């Protein structure tokens, strides 16, 4: 791994303590980092950071599904525009994440 990209990745990931970092992919001139953000419901949001070395410059982009943190992450990273994440459900004809339904509780009956 390119030592400069590694340092850049560590510094960038540490700017987002709300994210539990999980995986990464590596290409010759870049890294893509994947992490999870806890939510108050049973789901998690994701964060994706793409770091590319372009000549003598480093280009960093991120995407998150977090409605709670998206605008803050954009400000924190020097972004200029917040773009809210939307669900694919009902828009695209694809397999989607199933929402867990609570199991109805049956009354305790004596025989």
Query: Do the domain assignments include residue 86?
Result: no
Question: What is the rounded CA–CA span in Å between residue 23 and residue 34?
Answer: 5
Q: How many domains does the chain have?
A: 1
Query: Do the domain assignments include residue 16?
Result: yes
**CA distances (Å), 99 to each of 41, 62, 75, 78, 96, in order?**
11, 26, 31, 34, 9
SS3 72: helix
Q: Residue 27: pLDDT above 60?
A: yes
pLDDT at 105: 53
Give this prediction's pTM. Answer: 0.75
Query: Do the domain assignments include residue 8?
Result: yes
Task: Indicate which CATH number applies to the domain containing 26.
Answer: 3.10.450
Q: Per residue in 91-107, pLDDT tens? A: 999 888 766 555 555 55
Query: Do the domain assignments include residue 61?
Result: yes
Query: Do the domain assignments include residue 110?
Result: no
Q: Of 24, 32, 30, 23, whose CA–CA distance to 2 is shortest?
A: 30
Query: Do the domain assignments include residue 29?
Result: yes
The H-or-E segment that residue 75 falls in is helix 70-76
Query: Do the domain assignments include residue 93?
Result: no
Query: Do the domain assignments include residue 100?
Result: no
**DSSP code per residue over 23-59:** EEEEETTEEEEEEEEE-SSS-EEEEEEEEEEETTEEE
Domain residue limits at 64:
3-76
């Amino acid at each position: 791994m390119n030592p400069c990209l590694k340092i850049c990745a560590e510094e960038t990931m540490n700017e987002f303590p709300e994210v539990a970092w999980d995986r990464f992919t590596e290409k010759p001139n870049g890294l893509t980092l994947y992490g999870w953000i806890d939510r108050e419901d049973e789901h998690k949001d994701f964060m994706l950071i793409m770091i590319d070395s372009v000549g003598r410059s480093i280009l960093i982009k991120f995407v998150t599904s977090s409605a709670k943190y998206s605008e803050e992450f954009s400000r924190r990273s020097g972004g200029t525009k917040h773009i809210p994440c939307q669900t694919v459900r009902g828009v695209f004809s694809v397999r989607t994440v199933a929402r867990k339904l609570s199991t109805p509780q049956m009354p305790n009956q004596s025989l």
